[in-house]
Amino acid sequence: MAPSKKASWTNAPDAEELEKRNTVGIHKETVTHNTSVDFPGHVPGEDEAFSLDRFRDGFSVDFHQNDPFHASFSLMGIDASLSNAFRRILISEIPTLAVENVFIEINTSVVQDEVLAHRLGLIPFKGGKEGLHNFLKWHKKPEPGEDAYKNSYDWNTVSLELNVKCTLNEDADPREDDPRKAYHNAHVYARDIVFTPTGAQEQYFAGDDAIAPVHPDILIAKMRPGQQIGLTMHMHKGIGADHAKFSPVATASYRLMPIIKITRPILGADAEKFQKCFPDGVIALDKVSAKEAAQKGSGYESHVGETKAVVADPMRDTVSRECLRHPEFEGKVKLGRRRDHFIFSIESSGQWDSDELFMESVKHMKLKCKKLEQQVMDMVR
Amino acid sequence: MVREGYQPPTAGAGPRGSTHTGHEVRTQMTYICGDCGSRVSLAKDAAVACNQCMGRVLYKERTKRMVQFEAR
Ligand SMILES: [Zn+2]
């Protein structure tokens, strides 16, 4: 008996099929195929079980920008569950040092004590990395009724002072109407905050490593002659899940890599209009070559030398779908997003370097997995 | 939290926290004039007016005690 012909699904998926599975469809009013399908049992006869080797082969990183306050990079070949875990860890689980307690001796400015304390808490500070990450440990909040300074040591509490008094500037022109010139200390800035090291902090936060505001020009309060602010602050380590002031990032987000596919030629004036449907640099204009025009069925026949639209840099696209609104492009373009290509953007608030933050999030993720592994083992036992 | 707040008077309270029992203690209070901003000391039965400008709006001074807040 002759072997029966195998069904087509028993063959290994070709490149086209793999790309189709890996694309989120973006249409005029709908987004389709948004869940990943590379898990066991989804396609009959295909394994797709997670394996470290397969992940290692398919995974790659590409940096686009790496500045202290902003890192942008692509993670390719990773599932949304993992990259989303990294994003969430970045926002809410990496510890930073921030003002937690404010002891106000005097505040006669128009800013209320509560508001002033809140503003001070939100100021991002920087300092020596070794001291911030390794020397400083968690602070345990005293129970209600206990002394406020209990549990405060040099290894968990950083003390700051802010003492400013607004006075009349005798040297200024009497008709001067800029309060910053007419008075001394009319504006209180973050740079007026003084770090007072205690104990071993003098070694860890000496010189350039001193605890100081990342941005010295943050305005804290405005005053008029006779008004005064005098307070001390205690900084502790905390995480973003507890309060946003502890979040080490201004924002950490990702987007999927946009795909623009021109399926049929867009030529002449249409090409220019098509280019205007996208942000600058996404679509380039090219000339139809003689070789393309000679190709039968390409759609370029007898269009030699005409302008045509080509995709230059899809990463810059915002996926506004503007091109889908115009009837002249109907059936000529396909929009989508690559499901396993995450373009990360991490903006550090200044205490950590932005690229350092991502590595830290990976470290946290590993730790979580180790904890889970141990719990699963205990469960089996 | 050691925040300053209103403490309800307790019956038969001792000397602590009560200002009305001891008439001798603190008969003089300092206020701030709402018109000219000068400090005004008022004796026990003096008229409520600023002695510089006769302004009748007087503000209570801020506490001299430390006040603790959470920066949240
Ligand atoms: Zn007065």
Q: pLDDT, tens digit, for every residue of A333-361?
A: 999 999 999 999 999 999 999 999 999 99
pLDDT digits (tens, 9 = 90+) for A155-178: 999 999 999 999 999 999 999 999
Cα B19 to ligand 1 centroid, rounded to whole Å: 27
Query: Percentage of chain A with pLDDT > 70?
Result: 97
Contact A118, B71 (CB under 8 A): yes
pLDDT digits (tens, 9 = 90+) for A275-294: 999 999 999 999 998 888 88
With cut-offs at 50, 70 and 90, classify the pLDDT of residue A12.
Answer: confident
For the cut 90, the answer to whether the pLDDT of residue A314 exceeds it is yes
Cα B31 to ligand 1 centroid, rounded to whole Å: 10
Alpha helices by DSSP H, listed for chain A, are: 15-21, 52-58, 80-92, 113-121, 129-130, 179-182, 201-204, 268-276, 290-294, 354-380
Burial B23-45 (b: 16+ CB within 10 A, else e): eeeeeeeebbbeeeeeebebeee
Is any Cβ of chain A less than 8 angstroms from the Cβ of B62?
yes
Cα A291 to ligand 1 centroid, rounded to whole Å: 93
- Report the alpha-carbon distance of residue A182 to residue A170 in Å, rounded: 8
pLDDT digits (tens, 9 = 90+) for A212-245: 999 999 999 999 998 999 999 999 999 999 999 9
DSSP string for A205-241:
T-GGGS-EESSTT-EEEE--TT-EEEEEEEEEEE-TT
The CA–CA distances, whole Å, from A186 to A110, A114, A180, A243 equal 12, 20, 5, 30
Alpha helices by DSSP H, listed for A251-311, are: 268-276, 290-294
Cα A367 to ligand 1 centroid, rounded to whole Å: 66
With cut-offs at 50, 70 and 90, classify the pLDDT of residue A45.
Answer: confident
- Report the alpha-carbon distance of residue A362 to residue A314 in Å, rounded: 28
| A241 contacts on B by Cβ (under 8 Å) | none
Amino acid A367: pLDDT: 97
Is residue A344 classed as helix, strand or coil in its secondary structure? Answer: strand
Burial A155-166 (b: 16+ CB within 10 A, else e): ebbbbbebebeb
With cut-offs at 50, 70 and 90, classify the pLDDT of residue B15.
Answer: very low
* Residue of B37, B68, B69 with shortest CB distance to A226: B37
- Report the alpha-carbon distance of residue A129 to residue A72 in Å, rounded: 22
Residues ≥6 apart with Cβ < 8 Å to A154: A198, A199, A200, A201
| B37 contacts on A by Cβ (under 8 Å) | 226
- Report the alpha-carbon distance of residue B28 to residue B42 in Å, rounded: 6
What's the mean pLDDT when you consider all of chain A?
A: 93
- CA A98, A100, A101, A104 torsion: positive or negative? positive
Of the two residues A10 and B47, the one the predictor is more confident about is B47
Query: Percentage of chain B with pLDDT > 70?
Result: 62
Contact A139, A240 (CB under 8 A): no
| A107 contacts on B by Cβ (under 8 Å) | 62
Contact A254, A345 (CB under 8 A): yes
Query: Percentage of chain B with pLDDT > 90?
Result: 29
Is there a contact between B70 and A105 if contact means CB atoms under 8 Å apart? no
Amino acid B37: pLDDT: 85
For the cut 90, the answer to whether the pLDDT of residue A140 exceeds it is yes
Rg (CA), chain B: 16
* Residue of A106, A114, A243 with shortest CB distance to B69: A114
Is there a contact between A106 and B62 if contact means CB atoms under 8 Å apart? yes
Q: Is A379 exposed, middle or buried (0-12, 13-18, 19+ CB in 10 A)?
A: exposed
Candidates A30, A40, A114, A82; CA nearest to A324 is A30
Residues in chain B: 72
- Report the alpha-carbon distance of residue A339 to residue A342 in Å, rounded: 8
* Residue of B37, B62, B70 with shortest CB distance to A101: B70
* Residue of B62, B68, B71 with shortest CB distance to A118: B71
Among B62, B69, B70, the residue to mutate for chain A (most A Cβ within 10 A): B69
| B72 contacts on A by Cβ (under 8 Å) | 117-118, 121, 243, 245
Amino acid A6: pLDDT: 60
Amino acid B25: pLDDT: 54
Is there a contact between B72 and A245 if contact means CB atoms under 8 Å apart? yes
Amino acid B7: pLDDT: 54
Is there a contact between B72 and A118 if contact means CB atoms under 8 Å apart? yes
For the cut 90, the answer to whether the pLDDT of residue A263 exceeds it is yes
Contact A211, A160 (CB under 8 A): yes
With cut-offs at 50, 70 and 90, classify the pLDDT of residue A1.
Answer: low
Is any Cβ of chain A less than 8 angstroms from the Cβ of B70?
yes
Amino acid code (one letter) for A343: I
For the cut 50, the answer to whether the pLDDT of residue B46 exceeds it is yes
| A103 contacts on B by Cβ (under 8 Å) | 66-68
| B71 contacts on A by Cβ (under 8 Å) | 98-102, 117-118, 120-122, 233, 245
Candidates A39, A49, A44; CA nearest to A11 is A44
- Rounded to 10°, the helix A354-380/A80-92 angle is 110
CA atoms within 13 A on the CB side of A98: 28
For the cut 70, the answer to whether the pLDDT of residue A3 exceeds it is no
For the cut 60, the answer to whether the pLDDT of residue A252 exceeds it is yes
Task: Give the chain B residue nearest A115 (alpha carbons).
Answer: B71
Burial A343-373 (b: 16+ CB within 10 A, else e): bbbbbbbbbbbbbbbbebbeebbeeeeeeee
With cut-offs at 50, 70 and 90, classify the pLDDT of residue B12.
Answer: very low
pLDDT digits (tens, 9 = 90+) for B26-45: 567 889 999 998 899 988 78
With cut-offs at 50, 70 and 90, classify the pLDDT of residue A9.
Answer: low
* ipTM of this complex prediction, to 2 decimal places: 0.80
- Entry pTM: 0.84
Domain boundaries, chain B: 26-60
| A101 contacts on B by Cβ (under 8 Å) | 68-71
Which range is most confident: A173-177, B16-20, B23-27? A173-177
In the A/B pair of chains, how many CB contacts fall below 8 A?
Answer: 44
For the cut 60, the answer to whether the pLDDT of residue B2 exceeds it is no
